[in-house]
Structure 1
Amino acid sequence: MLDVQARAALTGPLERAAAGLDRPGVTPNRLTAAGVVLGLAGAGCAATGWWAAAAVLWLLSRLADGLDGPLARRRGADGAGGFLDITADFLVYGAFVVGVAVGVGGSALPFLVVLLAYYVNGTAFLAFSSIAERAGRREVEDDRLSRGRSLNFLGGLTEGTETIAVHTLWCLLPGIAHTVAWVWAGAVGVTAVHRVVTGYRRLR
């Protein structure tokens, strides 16, 4: 829901930072890999209850994820990098949910529902992107969502910006993590339904 505004605000700073990182030893894929390492380390810290460290590592992971795209565009983006990037995102998102679930203890059910919602949501937008691309169609609700990305992108109530905020909130307020997880699972579920319905209608 907030990705268009966030991208508008952050595109300039991220592109300038990518320009500063544009050195022979720094590649987009290495930034993606760094994001994975930082994200998995953050998930590990969450699992052990080191919440401050988990929040910092999570945000650094997302910063690396935000920089690999602008650097790739400076170097000439390729499909392999985009594939690696989206795969890394799903790995880090899922691992962090598991880490938080372990760290807060108690019932894992709300976090399992979050993972289920992620699964359906991700399947819907990845399948839409693949089929739309194969059909030679650039079908999006708002082209600003797909601009600069490797995929056709359907927006929704929950996007990357909201995901970053909620995962950070878990670290800042672990005492209410279960409640946040239930609310978040519902919001992601609404987005999944919206993407399934919208994607089906646009591909007919």
Structure 2
Amino acid sequence: MIDSHLLPLQRRALAPLARALAARGARADAITLAGFAIGLAAVPALAFGQFGLALALILANRLADGLDGAVARLTRPTDRGAFLDIALDFAFYALVPVGFALADPAANALPAAVLVAAFVGTGSSFLAFAVIAAQKGMSARAYPTKGIYYLGGLTEGFETIALFVLMCLLPQHFAALAYIFAGLCAITTLTRWRQGWLAFAAAPDKKNTSA
């Protein structure tokens, strides 16, 4: 919901570190992969109830997520980098609730499943819109540096990370937080479906066929 306002601040804050990394030959793809590995490490940390460690790993993952794009813009952005960034982000988002489910299956498994299902709704609507938007040559003015069409919504990256921070700080309230956020994700999915319905209402391209 507020990612478009925070991204310029994030870019300015990360610029010095990104310049230092680029000057030392760091590659954006390597940062993306290292960040994902760090994020993966949060899952066993959550499973064993090490919520403080998990929080640190989640925040480190997000730092890497900001740095890879900053380094790419200083060197050479690539389609592969954009693909890795978004694909690994969605995998990371889905794995964090799994960590909480493993920590306490009896209390957390169902809300974790509901939250992951809600993430599927937001993620699939986001990516489906991006695919058709790319075919039509559309661009998102609010996110000019993104590698794909970035469709906003009520629950975006900032809100998702804020949720994970709250869950790590208040693990005993994981279920309630998961259900609340799943409801907000459902609203995001419905609004994105509506945006797609309206944006692509024109006659279909002859070269495109339904699956």
User: TM tier, shorter chain?
Assistant: over 0.9
Counterpart in 2 of 1:194?
A: 191
Residue 157 (structure 1) aligned to one of 149, 154, 159: 154
Q: Which runs of 5+ in 1 are unaligned?
A: none
RMSD between superposed Cα atoms in Å: 1.2
Give the match for residue 117 of structure 1.
Answer: 118
Offset of residue 105 of structure 1? 3.3
Equivalent runs, 1:1-204 vs 2, <5 Å: 1-107=1-107, 108-138=109-139, 140=140, 143-144=141-142, 146-204=143-201
Identity %: 37
Measure, in 2, the Cα distance between the counterparts of 1:8 and 1:70. Answer: 11
Which one-letter code corresponds to 2:199 in the other structure? R
1:42 aligned counterpart, secondary structure: helix
Summarize deviations over 1:110-133 as a string: whole Å, max 9, x none: 111111111111111111111111
Distance 1:201 1:96, change over 3 A: same
- Aligned AA for 2:32? T
Q: Is the 8 A contact 2:42 2:53 kept in 1?
A: yes
Residues 104 and 177 in structure 1, CA contact (< 8 A), matched pair in contact too: no
CA contact (8 A) 2:14 2:70 kept: yes
Letter in 2 for 1:203: F
Q: Could you tell me which amino acid in structure 1 is paired with residue 54 of structure 2?
A: A
* Helix, strand or coil at the partner of 1:106: helix
Q: Give the CA deviation at 1:51.
A: 0.5
Give the conservation status (yes or no) of the 8 Å contact 2:42–2:54.
Answer: yes
Say which is worse superposed, 116-125 or 54-63, in terms of deviation. 116-125
Aligned residue type for 1:147: P
Amino acid at match of 1:157: L
Tell whether the 8 Å contact from 2:130 to 2:148 is kept in structure 1 after alignment. Answer: yes
Instruction: Say if 2:10 and 2:66, in contact at 8 Å, map to a contact too.
Output: no
TM-score, normalization by structure 2: 0.91
Query: Gapped runs of 5+ residues in structure 2?
Result: 202-211
User: Is the Cα–Cα contact under 8 Å of residues 42 and 58 in structure 1 kept in the other structure?
Assistant: yes
Task: Note if contact 2:153-2:188 (Cα within 8 Å) is conserved in structure 1.
Answer: yes
Where 1:22 maps in the other structure, the secondary structure is helix
